[in-house]
Amino acid sequence: MGAFEDRAAQNEVLFRSVNEQIEKLGRESDQQHVQFVCECSHGTCAEQIQLTLSEYEEVRSDGRWFAIVPGHLTEQIEHVVRATDRYLIVEKDTPAAVEITEDSDPRD
Ligand SMILES: [Zn+2]
C-alpha cells in the first residue's frame, strides 16, 4: 500500500460524497438519467456519467463499489464488476483501499 493507492481511494471517496448530493437533487426532478461525476481515482477527472437512480442505487449497495467512465480503471487497486456502454462499476481490491472506502461509506 503506497501513497498513490491511498490518494486514489481518497479521491473516489470524495466523488462518492459529491454523487450522494447529486442523487438527492435527482430525486426531486423527473429526469430518467442523472448526471453523476466519475468516481475514478484520477484526481483531475471531471467527466460525467449518466445513470438512472436505480443504477446509482446498485452502485451504492456495496461500500467497495464505484461508478466510473469506461477507460478510467486503475488496475492496481480495483477490478470491473459490471461494464455498460455508459459506465463501469469497479470494486476495490487492496485491503487499505477497502478500509478507506468502507469506513467512509455514507450509507453505514
Ligand atoms: Zn474518471
Band (pLDDT 50/70/90 cuts) for residue 70 is very high
Q: What is the mean pLDDT of residues 93-101?
A: 76
Split into its structural domains, the chain has a count of 1
Q: Model confidence at 95, in pLDDT bands (50, 70, 90)?
A: confident
Consecutive H or E run containing 96: helix 95-103
29 C-alpha to ligand 1 centroid (Å): 25
Of 16, 10, 97, 9, nearest to 59 by C-alpha is: 16
Q: How far is the CA of 4 from the centre of ligand 1 (A)?
A: 16
Q: How far is the CA of 31 from the centre of ligand 1 (A)?
A: 23
CA 57 / ligand 1 centre spacing (Å): 19
**Residue 1: is its pLDDT beyond 60?**
no
What is the CA(62)–ligand 1 centre distance, in A?
19
- Answer whether residue 108 is part of any domain: no
Residue 67 structural domain: 3-103
Say if 43 falls within a structural domain: yes
| Amino acid 99: pLDDT | 77
- For residue 86, is it within any domain? yes
CA angle 69, 75, 76 (to 5 degrees): 135
pLDDT for 9-39, tens place per residue? 788 888 899 999 999 988 888 778 999 999 9
CA of 100 to the centre of ligand 1 (A): 19
Cell 484520477 locates to 42
pLDDT confidence of 105, banded at 50, 70, 90?
A: confident
CA of 60 to the centre of ligand 1 (A): 17
The mean of the pLDDT values for the chain is 88
